[in-house]
Amino acid sequence: MSDRVYIFDTTLRDGEQSPGASMNTAEKMRLANQLEKLGVDIIEAGFPAASDGDFEAVSQIAGKLQHTEVAGLCRASKPDIDQAWAALKTAVKPRIHTFIATSDIHLQYKLKMNREEVVAAAVAAVRYAKTLTPNVEFSAEDGSRSDRDYLCRVFEAAIAAGASTVNLPDTVGYAIPEEFGDLVRYVIAHTPNIHQAVLSVHCHNDLGLATANTLTAIRAGARQAEVTINGIGERAGNTSLEEVVMSLHTRPNFLPMETGIHTEHIYPTSRLVSMITGIIVQPNKAIVGANAFAHEAGIHQDGVLKNPMTYEIMKPETIGLNTNRLVLGKHSGRHALRTHLKELGYDLSDEELKIVFTQFKELADKKKHVMDEDLEAIVTEGILRTADIFKLEYLNVSAGTTVLPMASVKLSVNGRSVRDAGYGNGPIDATFNTIAKLTGTSSELLRFTVGALTGGTDAMGEVIVRLRENGLVALGKGSDADIITASAKAYLNGLNRLEYLKTHPVKAAQVL
């Protein structure tokens, strides 16, 4: 059995199903380029039949990447497969990923099909996909809750029809590691032609066991891991790429397998995903959290100073976390900025660098040192934002203990300037009320989070909001040295994302 584990990244597909984490095509393209630099073997770029936006993103990514396989997800139906292939056909290494549920509860209540019908549908889908590309993956949705012998039968039929990869998903995060490892061993032992395909696993984190289940499955013989950056995804998320990869990297004595991941790009990729989606990485998150390499206890600090291996099982540099940060200031030049941005994972064009450099100089005039977090905020504001329908042109707020908070706002709405003023319970409430009036929107504010990107009283403030309108949910993110301005930017970013979702509707679809 091969000791190579293939990394299948589904951040752009399953990861995007995190509430409010929708990405536009430009953001997906930038992330896909970073994932290729990271060294993932397969990128699941989207679900082409789900929406025009997904189709466009998959098509553009397929036409751009040169080394990484590009997969498109589709249900076990000819129209879905045709749509996936239309998006993938320009790829250097295309993969069609088709699926159907195999658990009795899904058959009875969702598909309303019997077991024979599901086998026939799976075979027909794989056989048709095989006429388009030799690289076909088949997934048995809710595989961990499927009858074992029936699961083996479906896999055997899919492989015989031409599937080169068969995927066993723990769709609802129900499995326990010992149980899941035993299931993988059973499938390998009782699927006669399993040696003709790569066995993959796709785990969800509903019980906090996604990484443990994936590693157990790898030890049991699975050789493809389906993962996302930062573990984002449906409900409680997916298996975390960085946790699986660094577990294999750190414990080769127990897990003697290798991947093609360039680990020094893990942290920059994590930051990029966080910046694009607006989903903050929790400080105590393994590998990439802010506290992952921080030591506060005196005993720990003393040990680390004497020998880092006393309390660090891996070096921060291994994941691309540079402990000797280059601090930029107002005297720094364009070349230094470009070089440092590349180290952070942002390979900008000349035009993009021009935009960022201008904003960098403006910020450098306001504060002595510009930190990495400041630069990432500038890139997000200037380069990675959704194409804006609503733009902030002017904001003036008056507030205090003896005055009624009021905001005067000027916006560009589809290129036309509009202005108004309004009151609220506080300066941010007044700002949001005025923006809502000017944009004609009626979104509900579900969440409002304020944080400082760096230390010090001159730190850039970061605001994240979650908005809901007519059943659509979107995250908005804004940063500025002034927290009220950051709030306005975040609110407008959320409104722009909602507008994007309105024009790029996603069809209801089964998910792994």
Q: CB-side exposure of 146: number of CA atoms within 13 Å? A: 30
At residue 334, the pLDDT reads 85
String of DSSP letters for 23-76: --HHHHHHHHHHHHHHT-SEEEEE-TTT-HHHHHHHHHHHHH-SSSEEEEEEES
pLDDT at 473 exceeding the cut of 90: no
For helices 372-379 and 350-366, the axis angle rounded to 10 degrees is 130
CB 275 within 8 A of CB 376: yes
Say which range, 101-110, 115-124, 408-417, 495-504, has the weakest mean pLDDT: 495-504
At residue 315, the pLDDT reads 86
Task: Sort strands 390-398 and 224-227 into parallel, antiparallel or unpaired.
Answer: unpaired
- Rounded to an integer, what distance in angstroms lies between the CA atom of residue 372 and that of residue 320? 13
3-state secondary structure of 116: helix
Task: Find the radius of gyration of the CA atoms of the chain.
Answer: 24
At residue 324, the pLDDT reads 45
Of 221-225, 378-382, 473-477, where does the model show the most confidence?
221-225
386-503: CATH number: 3.30.160.270
Question: Residue 436 is encoded by which pair of tokens?
Answer: 């809502």
Task: Sort strands 444-452 and 224-227 into parallel, antiparallel or unpaired.
Answer: unpaired
At residue 253, the pLDDT reads 95
Task: Sort strands 406-413 and 390-398 into parallel, antiparallel or unpaired.
Answer: antiparallel
Of 112-126, 287-301, 346-360, 496-510, where does the model show the most confidence?
112-126
Mean pLDDT of 171-199: 98
Q: How many residues does the chain have?
A: 512
pLDDT at 237 exceeding the cut of 80: yes
Average pLDDT over the chain reads: 90
Mean pLDDT of 333-342: 83
Query: For residues 215, 288, 273 and 330, what is the CA-based torsion angle, rounded to 10 degrees?
Result: -160
Write out pLDDT tens, residues 109-131.
Answer: 999 999 999 999 999 999 999 99
Is the model more confident about 388 or about 380? 388
Query: What's the Cα-to-Cα distance from 183 to each of 107, 163, 239, 247, rounded to whole Å?
Result: 20, 20, 18, 22
Cα 342–348–351 angle (5° rounding)?
145
CB 22 within 8 A of CB 240: no
Question: Residue 248 is encoded by which pair of tokens?
Answer: 């294999």
pLDDT at 413 exceeding the cut of 80: yes
At residue 1, the pLDDT reads 60
Domain boundaries, the chain: 6-277, 326-384, 386-503
CA 59, distance to chain mean position in Å, is 18
Closest CA to 478 of 459, 460, 496, 464: 464
Model confidence, pTM: 0.85
Query: What's the Cα-to-Cα distance from 389 to each of 228, 447, 497, rounded to whole Å?
Result: 30, 22, 9
Write out pLDDT tens, residues 443-461.
Answer: 999 989 898 776 677 777 8
List CB contacts of 485: < 8 A, sequence separation 6 or more.
392, 395, 478
- Rounded to an integer, what distance in angstroms lies between the CA atom of residue 215 and that of residue 194? 20
Closest CA to 23 of 43, 53, 44: 53
> What is the CB neighbour count within 10 angstroms for residue 238?
31
Amino acid at residue number 199? L
Residue 149 burial (10 A CB sphere; 0-12, 13-18, 19+): exposed
Sheet holding 444-452, edge to edge: 444-452, 461-469, 472-480
At residue 370, the pLDDT reads 79
Question: Residue 311 is encoded by which pair of tokens?
Answer: 């309390």
pLDDT at 322 exceeding the cut of 70: no
Task: Name the β-bridge partners of 464.
Answer: 449, 477
CB 99 within 8 A of CB 512: yes
- Rounded to an integer, what distance in angstroms lies between the CA atom of residue 494 and that of residue 277? 11
Write out pLDDT tens, residues 194-224.
Answer: 999 999 999 999 999 999 999 999 999 999 9
CATH superfamily of this structure's domain 6-277: Aldolase class I (3.20.20.70)
Q: In the structure, how many helices (H) and strands (E) does the chain have?
A: 16, 14
Write out pLDDT tens, residues 89-101.
Answer: 999 999 999 999 9
DSSP state for residue 506 in the 8-state scheme? P
CB 334 within 8 A of CB 353: yes
At residue 141, the pLDDT reads 98
- Rounded to an integer, what distance in angstroms lies between the CA atom of residue 258 and that of residue 339? 30
Say which range, 220-229, 377-386, 493-502, has the weakest mean pLDDT: 377-386
Task: Sort strands 461-469 and 444-452 into parallel, antiparallel or unpaired.
Answer: antiparallel
Write out pLDDT tens, residues 73-83.
Answer: 999 999 999 99
CA 508, distance to chain mean position in Å, is 20
Say which range, 27-41, 318-332, 469-483, has the weakest mean pLDDT: 318-332
Question: Residue 115 is encoded by which pair of tokens?
Answer: 């077991």
> What is the CB neighbour count within 10 angstroms for residue 406?
18
In percent, how much of the chain has pLDDT > 90?
64
Write out pLDDT tens, residues 62-72.
Answer: 999 999 999 99
Query: What's the Cα-to-Cα distance from 218 to each of 181, 304, 348, 443, 474, rounded to whole Å?
Result: 8, 32, 37, 45, 35
Write out pLDDT tens, residues 42-52.
Answer: 999 999 999 89
- Rounded to an integer, what distance in angstroms lies between the CA atom of residue 256 and that of residue 246? 12
Task: Sort strands 69-75 and 94-101 into parallel, antiparallel or unpaired.
Answer: parallel
